[in-house]
A and B are shown apart, each in its own frame.
Chain A
């Protein structure tokens, strides 16, 4: 290689003519090897190794990589052996292989007049092949050695001379030596770097925590995760849920991979265990194929086919064969959910059992209730889910989401089995966070970039007040949202966006469409039967687009009575802006003061409204207003409505009276206020679970 010859015969003893050295051109030597490989080795050796190659191909199809590797190695060995045999015999008899003879090269002994022995040639050729293990780098020595001898030439004490008059070369120049030595070390450094980086990356990969999802490479005819999950279920749950039900539940909650789920289904198919749960599994697996879903649905509900109108009146879980009926009912419910048929879905939601037995039913109902804003109901259902290794991350997520959406994030009970104890265990924490980070379906989570997800979900920071909310929000956002629910949100959003676009088009107040749209929006957010997010979006759009004082005042009353809804502050700020735009300084200040006094953290409001407040307060006695309109102590919607019903002496009524007196010229306004009072009273009496928070 780069080390010079330490033992080289004297001028008289070596076959080199020092005046005309006639050493073989390295490129000729390379060309000779190419000729040997392509013309002699390729067809001959491929014939010898054909059988093993065939066997290797068969094992590759069977994915038996050990046998495949073995036979490929054997094929390679045959190839090498053929090459060695061919070159050794050719060199022994003719002084070089066919390739060398074509280029008039000759392998000669280092000692003048002596003939090369068979084994010496064999060793030479053997070490030539060994050079391939070094990715061909050792062959560079042909350029760096003083007599153009490669490492295997030196091992076998040989020299390659050229008999071609015009193609032979002389001893290498110093520049050539330096250049190729540099090239050798650069290549060596590059190879070592690449290998080191790969080793390090593999090491990092190995250090990663084990993920909870089961993957493709899993051995066995059944999914291991489903087995573990099913074995951990209580006796009652096992009675109500078959193994396939368990698999369906895990798949619905994204807790097992698609391949894993398919394994379960294939096992059932092979063993002829084709029941309604199996069909439900197939239905979930083929969820993108409309017709197939419909066919499976019919299969699931074939026993109830007589009842064409399978609805709340005909299905009751408590009846005979309730488990099968529940599967049928949930399949239909899921199908409606999938097809985004929300009107029907909510109709069905009314008739859903309050005591579902199957795990997936509970899970679907939780998601449904979370979407509708029935957080208390969702929380009660969460308690029914089996708390084991697999489900606790889901339960934790549902639990946190329910609290977050209800605005009760600070009421989270960390002593819950699925929260405090288990989340503190490191592997579980890692599983939970990695799993949550994989879910990207929740529309509000755009701000949480994937790479920052893990940072946000630092379970250890739960106890620190400042980070608590941020961490919980990150977790709550990362709940696996079924696409249907997500689509529902999108659907509502699109619908409202269309309305918003319509508002933009119609700028005149007298336009009939505009009024219709406002009334539509009003109906959207004022009707508790409407989906939760539709109401939120409608409210936001209403206050963003409204420009008529009458409508603004109407909304002001609604807004002031519904503290604290999720977007209360934001809508209040918009209301404040709308009043300012209409030059109703007094009203805008009223809104501003309410915002200021209601808000626990004043920063956000004061920062955002500073310009408006300073501008408005120039021609208004700010202190007088604050003294006159003291804010109420009780702030919950319930207390507000009760006080409406009591007497005019209550602070809330005083407050609302002051509002109404500020707009004496508005015809019909009193009527609206009265309507509100009645409506609120009805709501509280009814104790509806879908009441706005």
Chain B
């Protein structure tokens, strides 16, 4: 395991903008966590309700059949499997339905055929879930197919879905943000952060498409910061920390390798993630990472073209 450290985490006096960005993220995370605790439990419970998912899968299947051509082939296979009595396919369809904004919007318009009592019950449950989601910070501040105003394009960059998500992003922000702020200044860091986040979201919208499940996280913005920082010092050796899972001191320590290596590994991982995972299932927004990195590269290009002076701290 290898991790770029550069200077480690610098003080507020040296890198104030990095810390301001960190604290904004922290405040949003804490507020969201407090609210999320209330709704998350009931939401998770409802998502996992097998009987509900089966019913939803049944009617989602009807919806898919109505416009079969726009859905991937495995959706069609799921529908045909569910018709042949495969109850797990019904549940899977029911779970996928949550992500389909077209379906979510059409619930009250589409004429579903079947048991009227069941349809009414399912719709009521769906409204309950929507109500719970509406108070969840991820849904309020995140970028989703039903909330994509300019406000959301900014706020999603400061919202995180869980502790590990927050922790991972913030470590990278503090390490690379500090290096970039010392080189280009706080305002440029802020600009990179916001622009990268927006480009990341834009690429995500283009390649993966927004779904009813919101896009959250600072990873797009941080990808831009990492890309810019690594491109600025591409050939220069920066400090990496390594740990080789062997509990002896000679297998844990620092190593100096080119900064470009971090960018290559980061991008290769994201590209592989984008190509190797199904977009409809969600998870890590690799395309947003790639978009953020792309923005970092563009900013690097601008710096080089304008021959902007920067403080070569590495």
**Physical interaction between A and B:** yes
Residues of A within 8 A of B74 (CB): 58-59, 61-62
With A27-B246, A269-B58, A269-B115 as contacts: A63 and B2 at CB distance below 8 Å:
no
Partner of A57 from B121, B244, B281 at Cβ < 8 Å = B281
Say yes or no: A266 contacts B246, CB within 8 Å. Answer: no
Given A34-B244, A44-B268; A57-B277 close (CB under 8 Å): yes
Given contacts A31-B246, A57-B278, 8 further A-B pairs with CB under 8 A are A31-B251, A34-B244, A54-B277, A61-B74, A220-B84, A266-B87, A269-B115, A269-B118
Interface window among B75-83, B206-214, B299-307: B75-83
Tell whether A154 is near chain B: CB-to-CB under 8 Å.
no
Nearest B residue (CB) for A270: B83
Residue of B nearest to A47 (CB): B272
- CB-nearest residue of chain A to B93: A61
> How far is the CB of B190 from the nearest CB of chain A, in Å?
30
Pick the residue among B54, B89, B114, B269 that contacts A62 (CB under 8 A): B89
* A412 touches B (CB below 8 Å): no
Do A39 and B2 form a contact, CB below 8 Å, given A259-B87, A272-B113? yes
Q: How far is the CA of A502 from the CA of B5 in the complex (A)?
A: 76
A residues contacting B by CB (< 8 A) are 27, 30-31, 34-35, 38-39, 42-44, 46-47, 49-51, 53-54, 57-59, 61-63, 167, 216, 218-222, 259, 262-263, 266-267, 269-270, 272, 274, 278-279, 282, 289, 292, 295-296, 299
Contacting residues, chain B, for A259 (C-beta < 8 A): 87
Assess A63 versus B89: contact at CB under 8 Å? Given A27-B248, A51-B276, A57-B277. yes
Please report whether the interface of chain A is mostly helix, strand, loop or mixed according to DSSP: helix
Which secondary structure dominates where chain B touches chain A? helix
| B2 in contact with A38 (CB, 8 Å) | yes
The tally of residues in B whose CB lies under 8 Å from a CB in A reads 42
What are 24 A-B pairs with beta-carbon distances under 8 A?
A27-B248, A27-B251, A31-B251, A35-B244, A46-B272, A50-B274, A54-B275, A57-B278, A57-B281, A58-B278, A61-B74, A61-B92, A61-B278, A63-B92, A216-B87, A219-B85, A220-B84, A259-B87, A262-B54, A267-B85, A269-B58, A269-B115, A274-B115, A279-B117
Q: Bound state CA distance, A690 and B275, in angstroms?
A: 75
> Is the CB of B37 closer than 8 A to any CB of chain A?
no
In the assembled complex, the CB of B4 is this many whole angstroms from the nearest CB of chain A, namely: 13
The answer to the question of B71 belonging to the interface, with a C-beta cut-off of 8 Å to chain A, is no
Chain A residues within 8 Å of B85, by CB: 218-222, 263, 266-267
**Interchain nearest-CB distance for B172 vs A (Å):** 17
Given A34-B245, A50-B272, A58-B74, A63:B114 Cβ within 8 A? no
Q: Which residues of A contact B54 (CB under 8 A)?
A: 262
Residue of chain A at shortest CB distance from B120 = A295
Contact across chains for B1 and A38 when beta carbons are under 8 A apart: yes
* A266 engages B58 (CB within 8 Å): yes
Q: Are B84 and A221 in contact (CB under 8 A)?
A: yes
Q: Are A47 and B268 touching (Cβ within 8 A)? A: yes
What is the chain B residue whose CB lies nearest that of A294?
B117
Contact A263 B87 (CB under 8 A): yes
Q: How far is the CA of A54 from the CA of B244 in the complex (A)?
A: 29
Of B1, B92, B115, B276, the residue contacting A282 (CB under 8 A) is B115
Given known A220-B84, A267-B85, contact A299–B276 (CB-CB < 8 A):
no
Q: Tell me, in angstroms, the Cα distance from A209 to B121 when the chains sit together.
A: 41
Within 8 A of A (CB), among B128-177: none
Is B265 touching A43 in the complex (CB atoms < 8 A)?
yes
Min CB distance, B277 to chain A, in Å? 6
Complex Cα gap A222–B84 (Å): 8
Interface residues of B in 1-48 (CB under 8 A from A): 1-2
Quick check: is B237 within 8 A (CB to CB) of the other chain? no
**B183 on the interface (CB 8 Å rule)?**
no
The reply to whether A299 and B277 contact each other, CB–CB distance below 8 Å, is no
User: Can you list, as one digit per residue, whether each of B60-92 has a CB less than 8 Å from chain A (1) or not (0)?
Assistant: 000000000000101001100101111111101
Write the chain A residue with the least CB distance to B272.
A46
Q: How far is the CA of A289 from the CA of B1 in the complex (A)?
A: 52
Chain A CB count within 10 A is highest, among B81, B84, B117, for B117
Binary flags per residue of B105-122, CB closer than 8 Å to A gives 1, else 0: 000000001110110010
Pairwise interchain contact B268-A296, C-beta atoms closer than 8 A: no
6 tightest A-B CB contacts, nearest first = A50-B276, A50-B275, A43-B268, A46-B272, A221-B85, A53-B276
Report the separation of the CA atoms of residues A262 and B84 in the bound assembly, to the nearest whole angstrom.
Answer: 13
**A299 B244 Cβ-Cβ under 8 A:** no
Taking the closest CB of chain A, its distance from the CB of B25, in whole angstroms, is: 27
Cβ of B191 within 8 Å of any chain A Cβ, yes or no, is no
User: Considering the complex, which residues of chain B in the window 232-256 have a beta carbon less than 8 Å from any beta carbon of chain A?
Assistant: 244-246, 248, 250-251
B314 near A: Cβ within 8 Å?
A: no
Q: How far is the CB of A442 from chain B (nearest CB, A)?
A: 27
- Complex: A269 Cα to B116 Cα, angstroms: 10
CB contact under 8 A between A295 and B117, given known A43-B268, A63-B88, A222-B85: yes
Cα–Cα distance between A218 and B72 once the two chains are bound (Å): 27
- Distance between Cα atoms of A34 and B248 in the complex (Å): 14
Smallest distance from the beta carbon of B74 to chain A beta carbons, Å? Answer: 5
Q: Do A47 and B275 touch across chains, with their CB atoms under 8 A apart?
A: yes
Name B87's closest neighbour in chain A (CB-CB). A259
Residues of B within 8 A of A270 (CB): 83, 114
Report the minimal beta-carbon distance from A56 to chain B, rounded to whole angstroms: 9
- The answer on a CB contact under 8 Å between B276 and A54 is yes
Closest residue on chain B to residue A53 by CB atoms: B276
Are A62 and B246 in contact, with the CB atoms below 8 A? no
Chain A residues near B264 (CB-CB < 8 A) = 43
CB distance from A76 to the nearest CB of B (A): 13
**In the docked arrangement, what's the CA distance between A38 and B243, Å?**
11
When distances are taken between beta carbons in the complex, the residues of chain B under 8 Å from A57 are 276-278, 281
Whether B117 and A282, one on each chain, are in contact in the complex, defined by CB atoms closer than 8 angstroms, is yes
Residue of B nearest to A64 (CB): B77
| Residues of chain B contacted by A54 (CB below 8 angstroms) | 275-278
Do A62 and B276 have beta carbons less than 8 Å apart?
no
A218 to B269, CA, bound (A): 41
B121 A292 Cβ-Cβ under 8 A: yes
Report the minimal beta-carbon distance from A97 to chain B, rounded to whole angstroms: 14
From residue 265 to 300 of chain B, which have CB atoms closer than 8 A to chain A?
265, 268-269, 271-272, 274-278, 281
Complex: how many Å from CA A465 to CA B264? 83
Taking A58-B74, A274-B115 as contacts, is the C-beta distance between A51 and B272 under 8 angstroms? Answer: no
Chain B residues lying within 8 Å of A42, measured Cβ to Cβ, are 269
- Contact, CB under 8 Å: B275 / A262: no
Chain B residue nearest to A263 in the complex (CB): B85
| A46 adjacent to B87 (CB under 8 Å) | no
**Complex interface: chain B residues within 8 A of A218 (CB):** 85
B117 touches A296 (CB 8 A): yes
Q: Give Cα distance in the complex from A292 to B121, angstroms.
A: 8
**Which residue from chain B places its CB closest to the CB of A216 in the assembled complex?**
B87
A292's nearest neighbour on chain B, judged by CB, is B121
Q: Are A30 and B276 in contact (CB under 8 A)?
A: no
How distant is B254 from chain A, measured CB to nearest CB, in Å?
13
Smallest CB–CB gap between A24 and chain B, Å?
A: 14
Give the chain A neighbours of B89 by CB distance below 8 A.
Answer: 62-63
A47, A278, A296 interface centre (most CB from chain B within 10 Å): A47
B117 interface neighbour in A50, A58, A266, A292, Cβ under 8 Å: A292
Counting chain A CB atoms within 10 Å of each CB, the highest count among B72, B87, B113, B277 belongs to: B87
Given A61-B92, A63-B88, A263-B85, also A49-B276 (CB < 8 A): yes
Contacts of B114 in A (CB 8 A): 269-270, 272, 274
Instruction: Provide the bound-state CA to CA distance between A522 and B54, in Å.
Output: 52
Smallest beta-carbon distance B78→chain A, Å: 6
Contacts of B1 in A (CB 8 A): 38
Q: Chain B: which residue is nearest A223 at the CB level? A: B85
Complex: A224 Cα to B205 Cα, angstroms: 46
CB distance from A316 to the nearest CB of B (A): 28
Nearest Cβ in chain A — how far from B194, in angstroms? 28
**A50-B272, A296-B117 known; A63-B86 Cβ under 8 A:** yes
Q: Give the Cβ gap from A353 to chain B, nearest Cβ, in Å.
A: 27
What residues of chain A lie closer than 8 Å to B81, measured between beta carbons? 62-63
Please give, as numbers and ranges, the residues of chain A lying within 8 Å of B277 by CB-CB distance: 53-54, 57
